[in-house]
Structure 1
Amino acid sequence: MSRTAAILLAAGSGRRMGADVADKILAPLAGLPVFAYSAKAFAASGVIDHYAITYRDQRQLTALAAHAPTPSVLVKGGRERQDSVMNALAALPDDIEYVFIHDCARPLILPEQLRALHKIVRREQAVILAQRVADTIKERRAGDTFRTLPREALWAAQTPQVFARDLIVRAYQRVAARELRITDDAAAVELLKQPIAILENPHPAPKLTTPADFAWLEFLLARHHATVTESAAQATAR
């Protein structure tokens, strides 16, 4: 039986938070550390056999360990996101066949989405969570000229991104060999000309980037909780 791991990325510096937030992954969000939402969703999904959690420093290590799902290994993060991913990949047990990679600055992931991604990756070998782009996107070219990109072909990539373990390892080996800098894992897999499936996310799932994002995320969490409560009440009434 195939085993699946989740790499939970928590070692980012959060530079755009400025001095207002010491560590956005440990900052309180509606009463819980931001990290706890990702940890709880993955644990509730029932599809993960092992966790590799990246951390930045000793303070993070201690705090993350308190909320880590089991079984987990905590892995020192690297200078860049891709370095943290490669460190975590190297720390996985040999029998892992599929790997989720998730930025814990995205706390609104749902267990049912994780189960759907797990089903797709076993068929397609690579799948990402993404949303259709609603805005008109302009590409700035030479001077002050612009080109309008076809909106119907554009997707905003999110996480988790999920891959067959041998595929993502080979992809990151290619990244390292070419000394490339990438900002998401699908970009590494694209170097291998591997098709990547998309699971469309119909729900808002912003990334915690600036202090202003806390209020928006708390609103979305409250709305989701109200929807779940209402659905449960309706089910009980039936």
Structure 2
Amino acid sequence: MGFFEKLRKNGQRLMVSCSAIVPAAGSAVRMGQDKLLMPLHDVPMLLRTLWTLEGCGYVTEIIIATREDLIVPVGQLCRDAGLQKVRKVVVGGESRTASVLAGLREADPTTQLVAIHDADRPLLTAEILGKTIRRAAERGAAAPAVPVKDTIKRAADGMVETTLDRSELFAIQTPQVFEHGLILGALEKAEAEGIALTDDCAAVERLGMPVCLTEGSYENIKLTTPEDVLVAEAILERRGEA
């Protein structure tokens, strides 16, 4: 029985603790500049990401895993912004798994859930964050997703092999939220076996654990190229957050 289900059965008020891990140690080669501190309408991208996590009542602490050369400027950014939940800024690793583990190992050992959110997804809404945390508390693992819009084909050597059924395909986003012990064990196992992962759900899937999908948003984009920045700024303007 999930944590939320127990509370509902007992008729108690919902209480859950969730540590947020923000992997931010990438090189940003495709962006052409260091994107963490890059301004989106005069606000650093990382700060926009952290604001949503800071404002979530379920999130009790935030740990950022970044490059060694960014430890001081990221820490200063958080202090200047008055972020109360950023507990540590630690050195990440050369892979996503290594960075997430660096953050996880600094998390409060008593936390019930862990939300892992890309530093370069600054348009996350409070609604998506809260919904994903609640679903993870019920089922152990959850992630937001959106249906794939384009037709997807599998190809080899430039030749189409098959067309995939678009109705079964989803683009997975972050935050990806898990029971603390589950994701820690899953990522440590993947690291020990030298498995390269592009997201954290894959580590849990390798253990045979199902991941529940929640409703994501086409606006919850990952900023990878300069074109993505233009889209993000347009979304912020439409939201009135520019």
TM-score (norm 1): 0.88
> Pick from 48, 56, 74: which aligns with 2:59?
48
- TM superposition shift of 1:2: 4.3
Give 1:61's aligned amino acid: I
Where structure 2 has 5 or more consecutive residues not aligned to the other structure, the ranges are 1-14
Q: Secondary structure at the residue paired with 1:83?
A: helix
Distance 2:19 2:225 in 1: 29
Change (3 A) 1:203 1:17: closer
Give the superposition deviation at 1:173. Answer: 2.0
Say if 1:132 and 1:200, in contact at 8 Å, map to a contact too: no
Assess, with a 3 A threshold, how the Cα gap between structure 1 residues 70 and 139 changes in structure 2: closer, same or farther: same
The alignment-based identity, stated in percent, is: 35
Q: Which amino acid aligns with 2:66?
A: Y
Cα drift, residue 145 of structure 1: 3.8
Shift of 1:81: 1.2
C-alpha contact 2:97 2:191 (8 A) present in aligned 1: no
Distance 1:212 1:203, change over 3 A: closer
**Conservation of the 8 A alpha-carbon contact between 2:128 and 2:215:** no
- Aligned partner of 2:148 among 110, 128, 133: 133
1:185 is matched with which residue?
200
CA distance in structure 1 between the partners assigned to 2:142 and 2:21 by the alignment: 15
Residue 26 of structure 1 corresponds to: 37
Opposite residue 49 of structure 2, the aligned amino acid is S
Whole-Å separation in 1 of the counterparts to 2:142 and 2:157:
34
Are 2:172 and 1:161 aligned? no
Aligned to 2:17: 3
- 1:61 and 2:71 equivalent? yes
Report the alpha carbon displacement of residue 143 of structure 1 after superposing the two structures with TM: 7.0
Q: SS state of the match for residue 37, structure 2?
A: coil
Aligned counterparts of 1:123 and 1:182: Cα–Cα separation in 2: 25
CA distance in 1, matches of 2:138, 2:173: 20
Q: Does 1:13 align with 2:27?
A: yes
Q: What letter corresponds to residue 24 of structure 1 in structure 2?
A: K
Q: In 1, Cα distance between the equivalents of 2:60 and 2:149?
A: 36
- More off after superposition, 38-47 vs 101-110: 38-47
1:15 counterpart letter in structure 2: V
Residue range with higher mean Cα deviation, 128-137 or 143-152: 143-152
AA in 2 matched with 1:106:
R
Residues 143-198 of structure 1 deviation map (CA, whole Å, 9 limit, x = unaligned): 72420001011010111100000110111122023211011000111001111111
Matched, 1:91 2:106: yes
2:20 is matched by which residue type in structure 1? A
Contact between 1:51 and 1:70, CA under 8 Å: does it hold in 2? no
Deviation at 1:142, TM superposition (A): 6.6
Query: Alignment partner for residue 135 of structure 2, among 102, 120, 124?
Result: 120
Q: Is residue 39 from structure 1 mapped to residue 53 from structure 2 by the alignment?
A: no
Aligned length in residues: 222
Task: Output the CA distance in 2 between the equivalents of 1:143 and 1:7.
Answer: 38
